């Protein structure tokens, strides 16, 4: 059975600021960073979900990433939010979701358990 392997690319205006948000706030790990840590592209991951961050001042694109978590994973995310490390809000995208926006306006949506 073949499996597709995909990694979203998020364009950011300041890679170091984005890394601080994702690594320090959302607890992603930095897997690799082009140019021995000095480049404008790097990969981060959390729980086998990988994302590429690319600093490009000409790109103003915004992404929306929909992530469905297990009950335990959602409880852990809620604890992290409650600690004040991650700003979030409850939003609506067909049903109730937790929305986390990165510093560049990329949206992360996490459906709530009674959603759908």
Whether residue 3 lies inside any domain: the answer is: no
What's the domain count of the chain?
1
Length of the chain: 116
Return the percentage of the chain with pLDDT > 90, whole number: 81
Residue 30 pairs with which residues in a beta bridge? 44
Task: List Cβ neighbours of 39 (8 Å cut-off, separation of 6 or more).
Answer: 33
- Half-sphere exposure of residue 69, counting CA atoms within 13 Å on the CB side? 20
Rounded to 5 degrees, what are φ and ψ at 70? -70, 165
CATH classification of the domain holding 16: 3.10.180.10
- Asked whether residue 91 is domain-assigned, the answer is yes
Whether residue 44 lies inside any domain: the answer is yes
- Is position 4 within any domain? no
What is the extent of the structural domain holding 38?
9-111
Place of tokens 């937790």: 98
Q: Is residue 116 over pLDDT 70?
A: no
Per-residue pLDDT tens digits for 52-100: 999 999 998 899 999 999 999 999 999 999 998 789 999 999 999 999 9
Instruction: Provide the pLDDT for residue 54.
Output: 97
Closest by Cα among 107, 12, 11, 9 to 64: 107
């Amino acid at each position: 059975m073949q499996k597709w392997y995909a990694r979203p690319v998020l364009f950011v205006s300041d890679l170091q600021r984005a890394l601080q948000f994702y690594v320090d706030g959302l607890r992603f790990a930095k897997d690799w960073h082009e140019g021995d840590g000095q480049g404008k592209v790097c990969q981060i991951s959390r729980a086998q979900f990988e994302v590429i961050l690319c600093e490009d001042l000409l790109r103003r694109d915004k992404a929306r990433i929909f992530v469905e978590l297990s009950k335990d994973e959602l409880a852990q995310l809620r604890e992290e939010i409650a600690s004040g490390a991650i700003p979030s809000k409850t939003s609506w995208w067909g049903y109730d979701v937790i929305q986390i926006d990165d510093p560049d306006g990329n949206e992360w949506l996490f459906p709530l358990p009674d959603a759908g």
